[in-house]
Structure 1
Amino acid sequence: MAEVHAVKSLDAIKLIGHLLEIRCSKQMSDIWCIGLNLALRISDLLSVKFSDIENDRLVLRESKTGKVANIVLNKKALEVIKRIRTEHPDHVYIFQSYRNRQSISKPPMPLSRRSVTKAFFMIGEEMKISLGTHSMRKTRGYHLYQNTKDIARVMKMLRHSSEGVTLRYIGITQDEIDKDFVDLEI
């Protein structure tokens, strides 16, 4: 599997959301939007239930690490989640699979990671960028770092335990760090 990257251009971030909506579905565009705003791994993002949200806060245990993610939902995430809830009041999952409609006896299931991966890959190929499901999390981390230059804050948001891992994860290269030293003269 090819390594995916953070999307560093704000225009590209908007274009990806737009292309996902027109080429795939509104649901894929919503996944991109919510994923950018929550910085969760795709498996955790797809498993979010409406019942996991209380008082504009999402609380869930991450499947990979077992750590608790306690995330206050920003205005954009809340708007999308409320719209989805209004459009699909009977859904259990925010990103519920529509295939379950075919079988009344089966319990609701979230959308599959595979379908999201396929949609993101297709848009990435169209835009000639390395785009995948981890791009949402990496993109949020990258832009938080660019806005704050506070790697500890980014680590905490991503629930990482090493600065080196976080810098590599969000795509901060040695060249960018060197540029910061050259650009900032005191």
Structure 2
Amino acid sequence: MAEVQAVKDTDTIKLISHLLGIRHSQQMSDIWNIGINLALRISDLLAIKYSDIEEDRLVLREQKTGKQASIQLNPKALQIICRIKREHPNHIYLFQSYRNQQSVNRAPRPISRRAVSKAFGSVGKELKLMLGTHSMRKTRGYHLYKSTSDIARVMKMLRHSSEGVTLRYIGITQEEVDRDFKELEL
């Protein structure tokens, strides 16, 4: 599996959302937009249930680490979540699969990681980007780092334990760090 990238340009982030909506579905666009704003792993993002959302906060246990995550929802995420809830009030999952609605006696399930990966990959190919399900999380981390230059904040948001892992994860190269030192004179 190829390494996916953080999307470093904000116009490209918006374009990806738009292309996912018109080439695939509104649900794929919503996954992208919520994923960008929550920086969760795809398994945790797709497993969100309405019951995990308490007013303006998402509370869940991460599947990979078992750590408890309590995430303040920003206005954009809240707006999308409220719209989805309004459109699908009987759903259990925020990103519930529409396919198994036609199956009688099947429990509701979230959309599959594979379906999301396929949609993101096709839009990435169109834009000549290495885009995948991890791109949302990496993108959020990258932009937080660029706006704050605070690697500790990024580590905390991503729930990482090493600066080196976080810098590599969000795509900050040694050349960029060197350039920041060279360009910022005090």
Runs of 4+ in 1 over 3 A off after TM superposition: none
Give me the TM-score of the superposition, normalised by structure 1: 0.99
Q: Does 1:159 align with 2:159?
A: yes
Distance (Å, rounded) in 1 between the aligned partners of 2:88 and 2:55: 20
Could you say which residue in structure 2 is the equivalent of 1:92? 92
For the residue of structure 2 that corresponds to 1:60, the secondary structure is: strand
Could you say which residue in structure 2 is the equivalent of 1:143? 143
Could you say which residue in structure 2 is the equivalent of 1:127? 127
Cα displacement (A) at 1:107: 0.7
Gapped runs of 5+ residues in structure 1? none
For the residue of structure 2 that corresponds to 1:144, the secondary structure is: helix
Distance (Å, rounded) in 2 between the aligned partners of 1:151 and 1:105: 48
Could you say which residue in structure 2 is the equivalent of 1:48? 48
Output the amino acid matched with 2:161. S
Gapped runs of 5+ residues in structure 2? none
Q: Does 1:175 align with 2:171?
A: no
Count the aligned residue pairs. Answer: 186
Cα displacement (A) at 1:55: 2.0
Q: Percent identity?
A: 72
For the residue of structure 2 that corresponds to 1:107, the secondary structure is: coil
Give me the TM-score of the superposition, normalised by structure 2: 0.99
Output the amino acid matched with 2:173. T
Cα displacement (A) at 1:161: 0.3
Distance (Å, rounded) in 1 between the aligned partners of 2:185 and 2:93: 51
Q: Deviations over 1:46-102 (max 9, x none)?
A: 000000000210000000011111001000000000000000011000000001111
Output the amino acid matched with 2:96. Q
For the residue of structure 2 that corresponds to 1:133, the secondary structure is: coil
